[in-house]
Amino acid sequence: MNQLEQLKQYTTVVADTGDFQAIQQYAPRDATTNPSLILKAVQKEEYKPLLEKAVRDNLDASTGEVIDQLLVAFGKQILRVIPGRVSTEIDAALSFNSAGSVAKGRELIKLYEKNGIDRERVLIKMASTWEGIRAAEILEKEGIHTNMTLLFSLPQAIACAEAGAKLISPFVGRIYDWYKKSTGIDYQGAEDPGVQSVKRIYNYYRKFGYNTEVMGASFRNTGQILELAGCDLLTISPDLLQQLADSSAPVERKLSADSGRNAAIGKISMDEPTFRFMLNEDAMATEKTAEGIRAFVADTGKLKQIISGMR
C-alpha cells in the first residue's frame, strides 16, 4: 500500500480544497473549504460557470447572499464526489459576533436543505474566538454541526469541546510557520511545534472523554501528517495527498486512545476570563488567530469585488 492508503487505516482523510474535480482521485471521506480556497477555485476556467450561475440566479440579492449561494453550490458539488461531510465557512467578519454567526449558520443550513442536502452532511466553519465558540454551542443544540477553525492553542480546543463543537481544526502548518520565523529553526518530525500542539489537544480530549473530533489542518509537508497518523481526521491539500500516494514508505500509528489515557495532563476549568488570559499569554496563538481572520476577510472582500464586477 502507498502511504495514503496506509494512513487511511488509522485516520479519516479529508481533502482540503474547493477543487472538487481534483478530489475524486484521492477518495477522501470528507472535504473542507475556506474563503481562500473558494477564491482560488472561482478564478479557474472550469469553475466559472458555478460563479456565473450564482450571480445570474440572484440578481436582486446582496453580494453577501450571492456568496452564500456560491458556497452552497460548491458544497453541493463536493458532496456528489465524497461519501461524508463538507465544511462551509461563514464570513470571518462575523468572528466576534455570536448572534451574527448563529444567524449565518442557520441561513447556510437552510440553503443546503433547500438543495436537498441533509444537515448531517454539513459542518459550519467558524473561527475559534470566544464569540465563535458561543455561537457553536447554540448551533450544536439545534442540530447544526460545527467545525471550529483558526485554532492554535489548547485553551481554544478546551473551550470548543466544552461547548460541544462537533469538530476542531488545529492549524499545524501555521504554528510551524510562526516558530520557524521566531527561532530560525526548521523543525522536523515530532519536534515540530504544530505537531506537538495537535498531539497535546488530542491527548487532552481522550484523557477527559470529550467527543469533539480533532482534525489536524494546514500542513506544510508530509512529515507533519505522518507524525499525526491516528488523529481522528487530517485535512490535506491535493499536492500533499499526491506525495503520500507516490510513496510506499511505512506509516506508523502515532496517536491512539491509549496515548491519551496515559498522558500526564491536568484538567483545566475553562471560563471566559481563563480563555482570554491563556490566549493572551500565547503570543503565537493570539497573532495567528488575528492574522487568519484578517486574511479570510480580505479574500472574502476579493470575492465580493469579483461578483460586483459581474453584476
Using CA of residue 139, residue 228, residue 14, residue 85, what is the dihedral sign? negative
For residue 2, count other CB atoms closer than 10 A to its CB: 13
The three cell numbers locating residue 161: 469541546
Q: How far apart are CA 259 and CA 237, in angstroms?
A: 27
* φ, ψ at 249 (rounded to 5°): -65, 150
Closest by CA to 28, choosing from 241, 248, 220, 232, is 241
Q: Among the options 8, 125, 199, 288, which is catalytic?
A: 125
Q: How far apart are CA 243 and CA 230, in angstroms?
A: 19
Closest by CA to 19, choosing from 223, 289, 239, is 239
Q: What is the DSSP annotation of 81-112?
A: T-SS-EEEEPPGGGTT-HHHHHHHHHHHHHHH
The three cell numbers locating residue 69: 449561494
53 catalytic, yes or no? no
C-alpha radius of gyration, the chain, whole number:
19
Q: Look at residue 142 and give its three-state secondary structure.
A: coil
* φ, ψ at 168 (rounded to 5°): -120, 155
DSSP 228: T
Q: How far apart are CA 245 and CA 3, in angstroms?
A: 6
Across 105-123, b (16+ Cβ under 10 Å) vs e yields bebbbebbeeeebebebbb
Catalytic annotation, residues:
125
